[in-house]
Structure 1
Amino acid sequence: MFGRKKQNEAGQTEPQTKPQDRRIHLSLPRPSGAAIKQSLHAAGFRHGSYSAGMTAIVLAILIVVNMLVGLLPTSTRMLDLTSNSLFEIGDTTKTAMEELSEDVTLTIVSQPDSLDTRIQRLVDEYASLSSHISVETVDPVLHPAEAQELGAEDGTVVVSCEATGESRNILFSEIITHTYSMYSYEAVEDSFDGEGQLTAAIVSVSAPTDHVIYTTEGHGEQSLGSSIQDAIDKANLSTDTVNLVVDGGIPEDCDLLVINAPQKDLDATETQAIKDYMAKGGNVIILLAQTENDQPNLNALLAAYGMQRQNGYIADAERYYSNGYDIFPEIYTGTSITADMTSDSLILLYNAVGMLETDPTVENVTLSTVMQTSTNGYLVTNEGQTQGQYLLGAIAQQEVTAESGETTETTDETSNDAAADETTEETTEETETQTATMCVLPASLIDDSIIGQFSNLSNQDLFMNAVTANFDDVSNISIPAKSLSTSYNLITGAGAWGMLFIAIIPLGVLGVGLAHWLRRRRRV
């Protein structure tokens, strides 16, 4: 425990000495007040203070700017760099949002982790378009009662208007559609229909309508394609079918009658029912298609309104696509259904039925051309070809006078006895002038194979204009979905441009870099 004492050579014990203190004591001069004051005025200190102050000011400015930018609408502070401009809002939507007069709420029902940022951003874009639009978010896991009250499942956008009491649910799967890939054997994203779905829903809940479109059946008619049916739904219009013979005529609530590509002839009673319907201000759209059956009653109906149907195929030697029977017709922009089109608008038709203008037998009818061939059009039959200019689409407008009776009550107070007062009813007849329309178009105008394949065509717009032109409170808000398929940049030919981008520019960049490197090496 204790160390032994050290002895010397004589055997005597040496006294212990204290260990040397090995600490180093530095003696630094204490700076004087004058020295401290002089150091504060030194150039290095002033430069450091200036840098620190400027850094603090810049950081403060950045924080304020960031806060102000965060208050800007999404459309201003975020750029749409997507290949198909997914978040670019079209003029149709902008006009509809400017005319919005009721408050509409867009409620996103989704878990935060599963919410697609594209849908969130598009909804925020709508909120920046109108002060009448507000956005809310509900997590169905944290707030199941709110989701149940909205009647929405996870992955839904609920569009509601408190003033009208109307609401509409849009599933995420309706906004981002999928298709099955034959290459990967899995579902892949196909299209983004956000603008079309949201705009249609906002308009429908803020200004609900009850218009009904009836399509005829019983003559081999074609059903409306999926693209057209979707456009009609977006326009907030209801559809139903009617058999004019079985159902006893045209229903009273029919606002528009559509006869789509009948393969058999109409009965005489059916054509008379259509005439009577138009005499009351009704509206009819007839889509003509080629058929092997004779249709004398239908042809007589068209002739009564100034359109003489031609038996045969229509070709055009001047305005055609792949062959003379695939036609780009001339469009007249002076009608109610083509007013928003230009000379650059394209419509593609095939196997079209041609017509010639004739004198109508129905009174007060005016015929307007919608589409026609060039002067190099041909009517092709088994007997030969007849050159001429043929109608491919026309509108017959009939001015009709409808009588409306108004009943009023009058009280005879000639007697002082109140019980003797007599009340009589008087009916006054008032006349009102209306315009009935019969629009005749080719059936191939709304063929899904054309509408789905060529996105730059105006086929669907023209048909929807013809539909919505019959209603004062309905506008054509048919907005096509945007494709999500991958697009590639291809150099179709090498040539000079190919040499420029493949060889000259890369070699030039390498040469400049090598020269710069050698110059720095020589300096060293």
Structure 2
Amino acid sequence: MTAIFKKEFRSYLHSVTGWIFMAVTVCFFAMYSSVYNLAYGTPYIAFSFDAVLILFFITVPLLSMRIMAEERRQKTDQLLITSPVSVGKIVLGKYLAMAAVFLIPLLFFSFLPLFLSSYGTVPMAENFVAILAFALYGLAAIAVGLFLSSLTENVVIAAVLTFIVLFLTYMMQGIESLISTTGNMVTKILSAFDFYTHYGTMIRSVSDVAGNSRLTTVFDLTGIVYFLSVIVLMLFLTTQSVQKRRYTMSVKTFAMGAYSGAATAAVIALAVGVNFLAAALPAKYTQLDVTTNKLYGITEQTREIVSGLSQDVNIYVYAAQESADGVLAQTLERYQELSKHIKVSYVDPLQDPNFAAKYTAEELSQNSLIVETDKRSKVVDYYDLYETQTDYATYSQSVTGYDGEGQLTSAISYCTSDDMPKIYFIAGHGEYTFDSGFLAAIEKENIAYETISLLEQEAIPEDAKCVIIHAPENDFSADDADKVIAYLNNGGMVFLTTEYVQEQQSNFERILSEFGMTLQRGMVAENNTANYYQEPFYLLPDIEAAGETAGLTGQHQYIMSPFAQGVTIPENGVEGMTYTKLLTTSDKAVLKSGKQQVTTYEKEEGDLEGPFCLGVKAQKELDAGTGTLYVFTSAQMFTDYYDSAVAGNNKQLFSNIMGTIAGHEVRVSVPVKSYELPMLTVPIRTAYLYRAVFMVIVPLGLLAAGLAIWMVRRKK
């Protein structure tokens, strides 16, 4: 076999065929990658591979048409089939020679992710899975070409047959949809010849809620099994084709023919069986989520909630199964694997148009979810599964995050919970209002909320799980402050934020002093460069370890707390009181008094030196229970704008606190998963150099080398 491999590989390098194949492949891949990766800045090379697949229609027939047909035409195949080497080894040697020629340019592709990583964040795992998928597709196509070349002695016919078959395997998905949009026995049989769909099990393009096409990547065992079985089957059929000619003159022709037919049927049945077995395995055994943002992965908190279910949960997907959102379908599979109580059903709105009306009076989007238990139901609109951002300059939408797990886990918790906590927002003093992202975080924790004015209430409502006072601009009345203090001293919870104002708010500050704390008037400026962003007032405080900061204390995790004040905590312990610092500055921070214009961020006369506490949880042990007061001295930190600057960590902190307030043993709110990586920024000079080298110089060099070798050998 080694001798056959060396002979065939050498023949590709001694003729122009192998060099043309490599030159064309490198040139076209470089062309597409220069557009997608360098010009558009996408960090995924799968787009380039997807475009290059069409090239196989031409390059694979060029590579494979002579491999068997030429031997047969020149009658040199008789020498091979009468040699002591088995036919299987001969076929394998020839195949490996073609595979080597194909894999040489693939080595170049393998270095592209490393090159791109110099210009931004690159998803290495996804890109190398894309390389593997492309390699398997190419190797399967070469195996098909090898088999078809063994059927004829005419190289042109071999090339045309290979072109037609590869074209059909690429277009098979479209052919199936023409036969039946819902699928039938014919389409199931044809799907066995669908290369592109099986390639797509590893690199799939899905359309998101904004209509944009995106790639999601899983390491899919079924796709790998499919292509490997195609390769093995094609090599076996090629062996049988050659073997048949070896025994053409044998007196045992009939016996050999029967043996060959039975063996072929057995191998085909084995290939089909292996693929059926792989497809029947649960997704948790066959699919590995390699997306950088773990789109298909399930967080530990969801695992705890779902695996602990004791009642059935029905999830209805308002879409036909074949047209359902691919990412959502993967997520639902993971939920089903976690618990036998999860049942997923697809409802085609065309076949049952009145189904949604049973659960909501509003018009429901396709791919929306309805989660139902014996207790209650909840509708999750498809557009809530994705976080979108609108560019008002172009009036276009882009998807920034996937919230499928977050919405599903929240809905399941809502439908299975025995009671629903409620919080009250205090209004009437010029309080801030929360942005939509933070209100959504409250809703995901399945907390009901209502806005009230203390002027209209004799006391805080008895069903209040918590009261939120969000940075009042005006002072409380003495009566309003007394109502809040009475609620706290009765074991209540208050979440309070402050914002620097010129006038002192003596009644409002009495709420803090009731728990032994004092608001430090002024604005904190940070002088440690590691603790601020761009300007010293945009604080990046140290995050202290606590239940509320779970998941936020790792390396390179930041909370942004702009325009913050300080809050003092008693240095000596106070009986019955517990203080848990959540956010603190460095000791290089200073408190600018605000009485004079800031001319420097360094300490001046009248400024206080740090460190300062910017966030604290104070608890008072009482006969009626435990009163809890959360204080954060920056109201701006609870806005979508500043939250986006730290990848949603401010919202994560807020969600953790809401989960603690709600009394959830396992936090219900799952953060939105970032849907894409930032675009690469490749200098135009580098892009031009890349195009010049890999689209022109390298391909021309390969062609020149092949031509030179061919001419030298021809003269000999």
CA distance in 2 between counterparts of 1:178 and 1:471 reads 28
Question: How far is 1:48 from its partner?
Answer: 5.6
Does the 8 A contact of 1:356 with 1:391 survive in 2?
A: yes
Does the 8 A contact of 2:560 with 2:646 survive in 1?
A: no
For each residue in 1:364-390, what CA deviation from the matched residue of structure 2 results, as whole angstroms up to 9, or x when unmatched? 112221111101010112354332211
Alignment of 1:171 onto 2:410: no
- Alignment counterpart, residue 706 of structure 2, candidates 511, 516, 521: 516
Question: How far is 1:94 from its partner?
Answer: 2.8
- Alignment counterpart, residue 583 of structure 2, candidates 365, 371, 377: 371
CA distance in 2 between counterparts of 1:84 and 1:43 reads 62
**Greater CA deviation, 196-205 or 228-237?**
196-205
Alignment of 1:79-478 (within 5 A): 85-111=294-320, 115-144=324-353, 146-151=355-360, 153=364, 155=366, 156-162=368-374, 165-176=375-386, 180-182=390-392, 185=395, 189=399, 191-318=401-528, 319-333=531-545, 335-344=546-555, 345-358=557-570, 364-381=576-593, 382=595, 384=604, 385-402=607-624, 434-441=625-632, 442-455=634-647, 457-473=648-664, 475-478=666-669
Give the structure 2 partner of residue 408 of structure 1.
none
Give the structure 2 partner of residue 488 of structure 1.
679
For each residue in 1:232-275, what CA deviation from the matched residue of structure 2 results, as whole angstroms up to 9, or x when unmatched? 10111000112222212211111101110111112222222222
Does the 8 A contact of 1:40 with 1:46 survive in 2?
A: no
Does the 8 A contact of 2:532 with 2:539 survive in 1?
A: yes
**Greater CA deviation, 252-261 or 102-111?**
102-111
CA distance in 1 between counterparts of 2:489 and 2:393 reads 57
Aligned pair in 2 of structure 1 residues 185, 245: CA closer, same or farther (>3 Å)?
closer
Aligned pair in 2 of structure 1 residues 360, 396: CA closer, same or farther (>3 Å)?
farther
The runs of 5 or more residues in structure 2 that have no matched partner are: 1-246, 597-603
CA distance in 2 between counterparts of 1:42 and 1:83 reads 62
CA distance in 2 between counterparts of 1:494 and 1:369 reads 50
Which letter does structure 1 place at the counterpart of 2:313?
Answer: V
The runs of 5 or more residues in structure 1 that have no matched partner are: 1-37, 403-433
CA distance in 2 between counterparts of 1:519 and 1:182 reads 59
CA distance in 1 between counterparts of 2:666 and 2:423 reads 15
Question: How far is 1:349 from its partner?
Answer: 1.0
CA distance in 2 between counterparts of 1:445 and 1:285 reads 14
SS in 1 for 2:378: strand
Which letter does structure 2 place at the counterpart of 1:516?
Answer: G
**Greater CA deviation, 68-77 or 132-141?**
68-77
Alignment of 1:25-40 (within 5 A): none
CA distance in 1 between counterparts of 2:707 and 2:299 reads 52
Does the 8 A contact of 2:293 with 2:676 survive in 1?
A: no
Aligned pair in 2 of structure 1 residues 183, 246: CA closer, same or farther (>3 Å)?
closer
Give the structure 2 partner of residue 3 of structure 1.
none
Question: How far is 1:485 from its partner?
Answer: 6.5
Aligned pair in 2 of structure 1 residues 192, 502: CA closer, same or farther (>3 Å)?
farther
For each residue in 1:346-365, what CA deviation from the matched residue of structure 2 results, as whole angstroms up to 9, or x when unmatched? 11111001122236998511
Aligned pair in 2 of structure 1 residues 375, 70: CA closer, same or farther (>3 Å)?
same
Aligned pair in 2 of structure 1 residues 158, 339: CA closer, same or farther (>3 Å)?
closer
Aligned pair in 2 of structure 1 residues 346, 492: CA closer, same or farther (>3 Å)?
farther
Identity over aligned residues, as a percent? 27
Question: How far is 1:198 from its partner?
Answer: 1.2
Question: How far is 1:95 from its partner?
Answer: 3.2
- Alignment counterpart, residue 74 of structure 1, candidates 261, 272, 283: 283
CA distance in 2 between counterparts of 1:44 and 1:509 reads 49
Question: How far is 1:74 from its partner?
Answer: 3.5
SS in 1 for 2:407: helix
CA distance in 2 between counterparts of 1:179 and 1:72 reads 38
Does the 8 A contact of 1:306 with 1:361 survive in 2?
A: no
SS in 1 for 2:434: coil
SS in 2 for 1:245: helix
Aligned pair in 2 of structure 1 residues 315, 171: CA closer, same or farther (>3 Å)?
same
SS in 2 for 1:271: helix
Give the structure 1 partner of residue 55 of structure 2.
none
Give the structure 1 partner of residue 670 of structure 2.
479
Q: What's the Cα RMSD here?
A: 3.2
SS in 1 for 2:536: coil
Question: How far is 1:504 from its partner?
Answer: 7.1
Does the 8 A contact of 1:303 with 1:360 survive in 2?
A: no
Aligned pair in 2 of structure 1 residues 506, 80: CA closer, same or farther (>3 Å)?
farther
CA distance in 2 between counterparts of 1:96 and 1:367 reads 30
Does the 8 A contact of 1:367 with 1:394 survive in 2?
A: yes
